[in-house]
Amino acid sequence: MPIREAMKRVTLTYSQDNQIQGKVGQTEITFEVCPTGSIYFIETSQPLGRFMVDKAFLTSLNAKLFAKYGRTNGTPDNLEWDLVEPVRYTTGEVHPFKTNWMSAIVSSDSDGVSLDLKMLDFRICWADYERANRKPSRAAGDAVKF
């Protein structure tokens, strides 16, 4: 999603370079964007109120997260998802690389309970950089004279 679309839903609180922070209701949200404005990193902190985190709450939360994102690793209050894919490096070598990851952490402090989500997808920026590089790369190739 382009940052322009996301910002239609967010009240801006901070912006510098490729990082934008804001709020949607009481949920704090941080975006990091590629040079073209595509979002590749999202971090949210959602306050859930004051209560004791119990098995019933974690079971319900886990069911919602599993339904949306699939099964995962971790503990009921600290879940992680990732996608490891073969990636071709500029050297031509192919190695496994964690291209996409997400975490969901339930935390408690004196302000109450919160759900913190982080999602990162390197493939979004890679695709942006590849598109941005196509034209100058072709121009450079066409400019070579012998």
Ranges 31-35, 114-118, 121-125, most confident: 114-118
pLDDT, one tens digit per residue, over 3-44 is 778 778 888 888 888 899 999 999 999 999 988 888 999 999
- Specify the pLDDT at position 6: 78
CB 26 within 8 A of CB 111: no
Q: Which of 6, 10, 8 is nearest to 33 (CA)?
A: 6
Mean pLDDT is lowest, of 9-13, 64-68, 103-107, for: 9-13
- Specify the pLDDT at position 1: 64
Q: What is the DSSP letter of 8?
A: T
pLDDT, one tens digit per residue, over 73-92 is 888 899 999 999 999 988 99
- Specify the pLDDT at position 72: 84
Provide the pairing of β-strand 94-109 with 78-88.
Answer: antiparallel
Percentage of the chain surpassing pLDDT 70? 99
The mean predicted confidence, pLDDT, of the chain is: 91
- Specify the pLDDT at position 128: 86
Taking residue 62's Cβ as centre, other Cβ atoms within 10 Å add up to 19
**CA-based end-to-end distance of the chain:** 44
- pLDDT over threshold 70, residue 47: yes
Tokens (6 digits) for 117: 């989500």
Spatial CB neighbours of 38, under 8 Å, sequence gap ≥ 6:
1, 2, 3, 124, 125, 128
